[in-house]
Amino acid sequence: MVRKITLVLLLIAIGCLCAQAADISGKWKGSLVTPGGIKSYVYEFKVEGNTLTGQAILNGKATPILDGKVNGDQISFSEDGVFNGSPVKVVYSGTVQGDKIKFQRKFADFPPDSMTIKRAN
């Protein structure tokens, strides 16, 4: 009986460790080819629990990370943008793969863009 309880507790502990959010805190960089040209981004992420905050920096202009979540290796967030003078929400979802994050980025009514960013040194 003690062995069964010990095994169950061990499995629960392993499950909790596996479900923890990936630690992506820090600076990340990447570029995206768009119809308007190449966009080079810097992301500064901060993770607390499953909540992601920070900022996205494009052309020296920082915008806050909104609605950020990290669940295991899955990440999602948004940022406010502007297109043709009108405000738009840019929505990201992706997968953390070590020192890379592969994103799908949805901007206005355009098809989603794929983007890979890398942890900055």
Q: What is the pLDDT of residue 34?
A: 80
Q: What DSSP character marks residue 2? A: H
Sign for the pseudo-dihedral over CA of 27, 51, 68, 16: positive
Tell me the two tokens of residue 101. Answer: 């994050």
Fold of 21-119: Lipocalin (2.40.128)
Q: What is the pLDDT of residue 36?
A: 79
For the chain, 121 residues long, give each residue's pLDDT as a single digit of tens: 656 554 444 445 444 444 566 789 999 999 988 877 899 999 999 999 999 999 999 989 999 999 999 999 999 999 998 888 999 999 999 999 999 999 999 988 888 999 999 999 7
Do β-strands 66-71 and 100-107 pair in parallel, antiparallel, or remain unpaired? unpaired
Q: What is the pLDDT of residue 11?
A: 45
Q: What is the pLDDT of residue 82?
A: 87
Residue 96: name the closest of 44, 5, 23 by CA. Answer: 23
Cβ pair 103, 77 in contact under 8 A: no
Domain ranges of the chain: 21-119
